Amino acid sequence: MTRVAQCHCGQLKANCVGDPYPVVICHCELCQRRTGSFFHVAAWFEKHKVTIEGEAKQFTRTIGDAGLSFTFNFCPECGTSLWWPAPSDSGAVAGKIGIAGGCFAEADFPAPTVSIYEKHQHAWIPTPEGVPSFKKGIQS
Ligand SMILES: [Zn+2]
Ligand SMILES: [Zn+2]
């Protein structure tokens, strides 16, 4: 099965084969600012299962306490940040590509498998039942 994630205007697309793993909810302040929402959801796919179409610009950020740099690819027309390769030292997701979960706009998209940076979680947002959760990154 192929799923397509796309930016707001539709010129930047990620065609993804199969199911993502992990699917990560992140409540950190950087993800809140990046998405303009109160948390983000990253769907991770093996690199070879993702084909990108369209033009992107890049923005690199370093996660403060984890020390990892992620380069986000966003649409120069509409600004949606769509995909980011995992840094090689990023443990569980190394070799994978993260795709903005909401950009699939599919109500039956696979549910989150982990929730991180809950120290920044807004009080009204529940953690899905049975999903492992962490105050910071996956190691903490
Ligand atoms: Zn766009
Ligand atoms: Zn985050």
Q: What is the pLDDT of residues 20-30, one digit of tens each?
A: 999 999 999 99
Statement: residue 140 has pLDDT above 50: no
Ligand 2 (single-atom ion) residues, CB below 5 Å: 26, 28, 31
Q: What is the pLDDT of residues 96-117, one digit of tens each?
A: 999 999 999 999 999 999 999 9
Measured from the alpha carbon of residue 134, the closest ligand is: 2
What is the average per-residue pLDDT within 31-57? 97
Signed CA dihedral, 30, 31, 32, 36: sign only? positive
Name the least confident of 59-68, 73-82, 84-93, 112-121: 59-68
Measured from the alpha carbon of residue 25, the closest ligand is: 2
Domains and CATH numbers, the chain: 2-120 (2.170.150.70)
Q: What is the pTM of this model?
A: 0.93
Ligand 1 (single-atom ion) residues, CB below 5 Å: 7, 9, 75, 77-78
Residue bearing the bigger pLDDT, 138 or 52: 52
Interval between CA 18 and ligand 1 midpoint (Å) = 24
Can you point out the beta strands (E) in the chain? 2-6, 13-17, 23-26, 40-46, 50-53, 57-62, 69-74, 81-85, 96-100, 114-116
